[in-house]
Structure 1
Amino acid sequence: MKNVMSAYIGGLLGFLILDGLWLGLIAKDSYTQAMAGLMRSEVHIWPWVVFYSLYCLAIVQLVIRPQFSARQGKGVLLNGAVLGAAAYGAYNMTNYALLADWPLGISLQDWAWGTVVTSFSSYCGWRAQRLAS
């Protein structure tokens, strides 16, 4: 249980830090410009809390736990990238398919980012559980 909690906290912290940098600094302007007509005037925080909490549970269960005993993190990085590509691809391609003003450029950018952030967050969680054990 200690390993699972360490993996969850490590993955969640990695995800929050990386995604905070991405959404708050690096890609903020491109997202805001591309989706200006779609943005709420007041952001709802609870959907983010739900997403981050559940997505990091999925990362632990599907990516990190199968690699607990691995000596290197290559499998974690690869499997995290696969999970990220699947999850963010489903989200972005569904939005692009269904929403009239959903920008393709943002979909592709976000899909790539989701692949990268899930991979690195998976590694952070794997590393945290290795340090805790």
Structure 2
Amino acid sequence: MLTGFGLLVIFVVIALNASTTAGSVVAGGLGAVSAGLAGYVSRTFVKSQEVASSHLRAYFDQPLEFSRYLAAERLVADAELSQEQRAEILTTLVQAIVTGPTAPVQTDINGQQQPNRAQ
């Protein structure tokens, strides 16, 4: 990112100090290309960081999710429920474990909800 910005500054200085119009146009074009390259590289790094962050978040959320299931199991074991009620609750608990946690709702810059995308 810094290299792209540095190249942009260098080409702007060259364009301003060029003695011919053609030299200014070439330097300006090279500056635009370097700015585009810097933007592409920056976006790639930011996207990579977002993906790594979401994986890390999932890694640290897993123990919390598991502790919730264990707490629910303890509550069911300690409650004085009939066998039918206990079976129904355990079935619901197992279904929740199998389906996994729901993905958080993503919002855009304007605060509007966006559909979750598979990654």
Q: Normalized against structure 1, the TM-score is what?
A: 0.30
Which structure would you say has the larger RCO, counting Cα contacts within 8 Å and 6 or more residues apart? Answer: 1
Higher helix residue share: 1
Larger Rg: 2
